[in-house]
Amino acid sequence: MNSPDEDQILDAISRWLERDVRPQVKELEHADRYPESMVATMKEFGLFGATIPREYGGLGLPAGTYSKIVTRISEVWMSLTGIFNSHLIMASAVTRFGTEAQKEAFLPRFASGELRGGLALTEPDCGTDLQAIRTRAVRDGDDYVINGTKTWISNGIHGSCFALLVKTDLEAEPRHRGMSLFLAEKGPGFTVSRKLEKIGYKGIDSAELIFDNYRVPASSLIGEAEGRGFHHALGGLELGRINVAARGVGVANAALKDSVRYAQLRKTFGKPICEHQAIQLKLGEMATRCEAARLLVENAARIYDAGERCDMEAGMAKYFASEAALENSTEAMRIHGAYGYSTELDVERYYRDAPLMCIGEGTNEMQRIIIARQLVARNPA
């Protein structure tokens, strides 16, 4: 059961989605235009501080409530959730691992949306294997000088600050001990080289970032100790995977709802197609996927909120919910027939958006490996 505060937040967001977002989605989506006015409203709602503690100006929402917000928004336009998801992973790294000075300096500005950004991990030759990054930071007095390239960075164009994963020790073994995480605000030496075009996930910018003798103060090293960046980055990905899983639930739900509605309107052979067994089989499977995915997300969020390790549970939720979105969007297209393949309806957008969730925040192949390893570790013979 939702708390009164949670119900109030969800109701306000639902009203905004139906009044201001749904009528504009097609235009913004097809133009691939950044939703400036919607971002301003999300700032007013406090979504850029959704999971940031109240003492630093955030809403202090538990992951359980946050995931419901993400699901609700994703049912209407998934792209909006990406604008604050990566941002909140960056904030989570500061909350969990930053010094008190870093928390006081950055978290209030993150919460208000004054500073927005995300996580800069991926490189042109490095995605899942984060230990293979090449971007390097070298200490120079009170600063570090950073050189390298990051790619597929959400909010790269419109964001202003990023949690930047770099190598500070090239000789460290194992490799992850030579990695560090910095808070990097845009400035001299930090440029956006290009916007990366995508088949889906429109509206939010994905960009390539270039660091050319970019200087960042040593005080911006999260935790002010080198060699812990890999751990700091992975810690934030638990929340990120819960977010992606919640997105999957939202898209799967949207595909189901549109299909149930259309199946009652469309008639063949003298009756609505919802009365044909072939369609009923599809709808039954789609509904079951939605419910199973939702429960997996709730479980992962509950464990995260309890402060316990949840990489296995978050991986399960992310893996299943993203596959549910992919399968439901495909079935929705089949149920809608030619209309599902047209740009007139929302089904084609679900079909383009869903694959991203099987790739982002760690591929689903990697999620299954994480799940298996944790099963073995938690159940020694």
Q: Which residues pair with 145 in a beta bridge?
A: 138, 215
| Nearest-angstrom CA–CA distance, 90 and 96 | 10
Q: Are 103 and 246 in contact (CB under 8 A)?
A: no
Q: Which residues pair with 102 in a beta bridge?
A: none
Q: Are 323 and 355 in contact (CB under 8 A)?
A: no
- Among 44, 224, 361, 365, the active-site one is 361
- Joined together, the tokens standing for residue 304 give 């995260």
| Nearest-angstrom CA–CA distance, 367 and 321 | 12
DSSP state, residue 196: P
- Joined together, the tokens standing for residue 120 give 């800069």
SS3 133: coil
Distances (CA, A) of 295 to 22, 67, 270, 328: 26, 11, 38, 17
Residue pointed to by tokens 């030619």? 338
- Joined together, the tokens standing for residue 61 give 């929402």
Residue 365 annotated among the catalytic residues of the structure: no
Strand 179-185 relative to strand 136-140: parallel, antiparallel, unpaired?
unpaired
Maximum CA extent, the chain: 80
| Per-state percent for the chain, helix, strand, coil, to nearest 5 | 60, 15, 25
| Nearest-angstrom CA–CA distance, 273 and 65 | 37
Q: Are 202 and 29 in contact (CB under 8 A)?
A: yes
SS3 185: strand
Which amino acid would we find at residue 172? A
Catalytic residues: 361
